Amino acid sequence: MSVTSVETLFMRVIREVELFKQLSRDDLSVLLRQAAKASFAAGEVVYEEGSEGQCMYVVVQGRFEVYRHANGSRMHLADVLPGEHFGEIALLGNGVRSASVVAITPSVALRLQRQTLFERPQIAVPLLRNMGKMLASRLTDADDEIILHRTKALEAEAQARAESEEQDAAPNNRKGPQRRFFG
């Protein structure tokens, strides 16, 4: 396969990435030329929660886990698969990583630097729009999950309260064994 056909195939695949929607072929080509290929072994930590972040990643191959530590436990937040991205929160916020990421399988990602992403308005605007849409979708999903957990907790509380009330009322209604006296 010639270099041109490989580049064409790669460009077609990359254009399917939601983050890159609405970028022109030329802008996407500029962005990809400035991206770095990052390879990770299974179990390799990409970055830790709280560390400084100046780049984001687009998964090309493999699988990554996003997690946080809470109450001494590792809490799974998401799996990130080919075509998806991670690390954008630090670029949009204060530069501090909000979670940790580890490669689950041998993986390859494109590393995109903050400066590369935001130095050209014709690239930055569609990228930021796409990130905003994707983050809004994640937030909606998180809200739905919170509501589900709160609803289950409220149902469990109501059930426990009802059982407690039944137990409290039961001795008053219970007659127990009856003794009869004759004579």
* Distance between CA atoms of residues 129 and 125, nearest Å: 6
Per the CB < 8 A criterion, the answer to whether 111 and 59 are in contact is no
The answer to whether position 15 is within a domain reads yes
The answer to whether position 92 is within a domain reads yes
pLDDT (tens digit, 9 = 90+) per residue, 56-99?
999 989 999 999 999 999 999 999 999 899 999 888 887 899 99
The answer to whether position 179 is within a domain reads no
User: Using CA atoms in the order 37, 62, 76, 17, what is the torsion angle rounded to 10 degrees?
Assistant: 70
pLDDT value at residue 182: 60
Domain ranges, residue 106: 3-144
Provide the mean pLDDT of the chain.
Answer: 84
Backbone angles phi, psi at 57, to 5 degrees: -130, 145
pLDDT value at residue 13: 58
Per the CB < 8 A criterion, the answer to whether 69 and 111 are in contact is no
Q: What is the CATH number for 19?
A: 2.60.120.10
The answer to whether position 177 is within a domain reads no
pLDDT (tens digit, 9 = 90+) per residue, 19-63?
888 888 888 888 888 889 999 999 999 999 999 999 999 998 999
Per the CB < 8 A criterion, the answer to whether 8 and 116 are in contact is no
The answer to whether position 95 is within a domain reads yes
- Please state the three-class secondary structure of 109-141 as a single string: EEEEEHHHHHCCHHHHHHHHHHHHHHHHHHHHH
pLDDT at 107 over 80: yes
Enter the tokens of residue 88. 């954008």
Q: Residue 59 burial by CB count (10 A; 0-12/13-18/19+): exposed, middle or buried?
A: buried
The answer to whether position 9 is within a domain reads yes
The answer to whether position 77 is within a domain reads yes
The answer to whether position 170 is within a domain reads no
Domains identified in the chain, total number:
1
